[in-house]
Chains A and B, each alone.
Chain A
Amino acid sequence: MILNKQKVAALLDHLSGARDVFVPATVDGVAKFARYGEGVQPDFGMVNTTMPPKDLLFPQTQKMYHFDVDANGSYRIHEYDESREQVVFGIRPCDMRSIVCMDEVFLTKGFVDEFYANARDKLLTVCVGCAQAAETCFCDSMGVDPQMAPNADVMLQDCGDAYLVLAQTEKGEAEVAEWSAFTEEADAQPVTCDLTLKVDMEGVVDKLEGMYDAPIWDNLSIKCLNCGTCTYVCPTCHCFDISQDMRRKDGIRFRCWDSCMFSEYTMMAGGHNPRPEKLERVRNRFMHKLNFFERRYGMSLCVGCGRCVEKCPVALDITRLIDEIGAYDA
């Protein structure tokens, strides 16, 4: 089954009738996944959005519950579920891999994060394969196929003028069955996407075990500004803070993205901080991406999207770090 690219706009109009559909688009100068509608022009030629799609499942700021405190100091908690049916149309295979990582974090190990789970259940993922890569893309080195995301509900492989439509889950099959007005029964050949940026991950995870005190982290952290940009644009960075806001007697408890690059992130009451310097914070971030997560969940926490490579103001480049780890001679 194929979907002609000229039919995509009509399909989006159809989909957005009943659900919020998010597409890659540039809004107010920022490339992100924006709600399809007036003033939002989908751009499926864009290689990668600046902001990842993670906020569809894990909003940058998310209300968890309301509370009020009455005159006697009594508490009432009102639970809150903002999740709604959403479609992400045009998510790339690297970002789909990031959802595999986030599913592991939020849905496993004894506790299911209810807010993530609610949003995840209501999200339909329509992945668009990549026909071309940015200079900073290195997903295939991280085990991602730029034309295939196995966990997407629907995979659209780029074949030039059309997409080859693959329904990959029950949800995806049910969805595609409703698309007959837009699709055709035909075959097409996905184009090959060549990536020029390569890294060699062979042996990196194991080698890092013995490199916790290597000088490599000093060299890397010296130029880091601890601005946190890498963590905000990263599709897999999932750290959050929990805080509250109180107006008169009404309050909300919310969570919001946090960053391991900030010293307050680990600062304890009383003043002790286990990661007081840039060195410890930078090391923790890259070890988490390339080693800790692999050990805990059996997969890398870097998907090779290249956003941090592109956006870091001091060109602190994870691909060069991986090269250095590979070349490191203890």
Chain B
Amino acid sequence: MPSIEISHGCAKGERPLVPQVCRVVEITEETPDVKSFRLQTLDGKKPFDCEPGQLGMFGLLQYGECMFVVSAQSDEWVQFTVKKVGLVTEHLHDLAVGDEVSLRGPYGNWWPTEGCKGKDMLFIAGGIGLPPVRSFLLYCLEHREDYGRIDLVYSASKYDDLVFKEQLFDVWPNDPDMHVHVSLYHEDPQWDGEVAYTAPFLDSLELGPEDGNRVAVICGGPSLSRTCRESLLNAGYSEELILTTLEMRMKCGVGKCGRCNMGGHFICLDGPIFSLAEIATMHSDV
């Protein structure tokens, strides 16, 4: 089975721990507890160049900083999509357009956009796991001719928890050979679609490995990750062709402060992106 080459430990940089001051230029309310923030430098430029899947440490000087995947980018801005779950993210949700924030990065590795060329792509995400996956999905859509059929399997607990609803329901379904499959975990008065957990929903779609020509990309919580990995392996996917982006608590972002290790690998520096085959060789507590 051909494997896809993923770069590790490829991020480099000077003075990694001191942030730059940036400005919020646009805020989108994705759900009641998820907002996306577009950031620019104070003189209106893109804060840093990065590859899809890389990380940024975004925060407020007086409250702290947290690591997020760059959920989208243009030539002028980077975007982070933030769920309100703790102290820093609560304060981030109070931001208004024009407010100043701190940002450092980019950190970590990136999706193997080259290695996946010519493949069908199966993106699988749950809840707030969609933004990291979307960074790759958007790249594929921008370079549409380089990739085959694209499927997105996305679930959330309630209708309100679905992020990027406009893209999910109005934009992506109209993209050529892009197929969007959405389920909710629970019945919801606003929802008349599928009600199922992600893994059985995925099973029902019968999106097989196509003789190694389809790559699966997963991001979700621990139970989604575990069950969807099992579904894919049962469906015949090889571990080399199942990619994921991992998350742990991070402080430095550059493999020094210690806490985000999986065995001798640091998710912030060597990851966050690994194949299942790589993870299988690691001593993992994740």
Q: Which A residues have a C-beta under 8 Å from some C-beta of B?
A: 64-65, 67, 69, 73-77, 79, 105-106, 109-115, 212, 238-244, 246, 251, 253, 255, 258, 260, 265-270, 272, 274-275, 280, 284, 287-288, 291-293, 295-296
- Residue ID in chain B nearest A287 by CB atoms: B283
- Residue ID in chain A nearest B87 by CB atoms: A269
| B286 CB contact (under 8 Å) in A253, A274, A296 | A274
Interface residues of B in 52-100 (CB under 8 A from A): 61-66, 85-89, 99-100
Given A75-B102, A240-B252, A274-B248, answer yes or no on A64-B257 (Cβ-Cβ < 8 Å): no
B261 touches A284 (CB 8 A): yes
Given A109-B9, A240-B251, answer yes or no on A73-B18 (Cβ-Cβ < 8 Å): no
Given A269-B86, A272-B222, answer yes or no on A111-B256 (Cβ-Cβ < 8 Å): yes
Interface residues of B in 1-50 (CB under 8 A from A): 9-19, 21
Q: Please give the distance in Å from B201's CB to the nearest CB on chain A.
A: 23
- List A contacts of B249 (CB < 8 A): 265-268
- List A contacts of B254 (CB < 8 A): 109-111, 113
Measured in the bound complex, the distance between the Cα atoms of B254 and A238 in whole Å is 13
Besides A64-B17, A258-B258, 11 other A-B contacts (C-beta < 8 A): A76-B21, A110-B255, A111-B13, A114-B18, A240-B256, A241-B251, A241-B257, A242-B17, A265-B249, A269-B85, A269-B89
Q: Please give the distance in Å from B131's CB to the nearest CB on chain A.
A: 15
- List B contacts of A109 (CB < 8 A): 9, 254-255, 269
- List B contacts of A110 (CB < 8 A): 9-13, 254-255, 269
Measured in the bound complex, the distance between the Cα atoms of B65 and A193 in whole Å is 49
- List A contacts of B62 (CB < 8 A): 67, 69, 244, 246, 251
Measured in the bound complex, the distance between the Cα atoms of B252 and A255 in whole Å is 10
Q: Please give the distance in Å from B261's CB to the nearest CB on chain A.
A: 7
Q: Please give the distance in Å from B57's CB to the nearest CB on chain A.
A: 9
B64 touches A244 (CB 8 A): yes
B187 within 8 A of A: no
A67 touches B269 (CB 8 A): no
B221 within 8 A of A: yes
Q: Please give the distance in Å from B11's CB to the nearest CB on chain A.
A: 6
- Residue ID in chain B nearest A211 by CB atoms: B283
Measured in the bound complex, the distance between the Cα atoms of B13 and A112 in whole Å is 8
Q: Please give the distance in Å from A212's CB to the nearest CB on chain B.
A: 5
Interface pairs A-B: 4 shortest CB-CB:
A269-B86, A239-B258, A292-B264, A111-B254
B226 within 8 A of A: no
A115 touches B263 (CB 8 A): no
- Residue ID in chain A nearest B98 by CB atoms: A73
B239 within 8 A of A: no
A266 touches B99 (CB 8 A): no
B263 touches A106 (CB 8 A): no
Given A266-B248, A275-B285, answer yes or no on A238-B258 (Cβ-Cβ < 8 Å): yes
A292 touches B261 (CB 8 A): yes
B263 touches A113 (CB 8 A): no
Measured in the bound complex, the distance between the Cα atoms of B285 and A287 in whole Å is 12
A244 touches B283 (CB 8 A): no
B247 within 8 A of A: yes
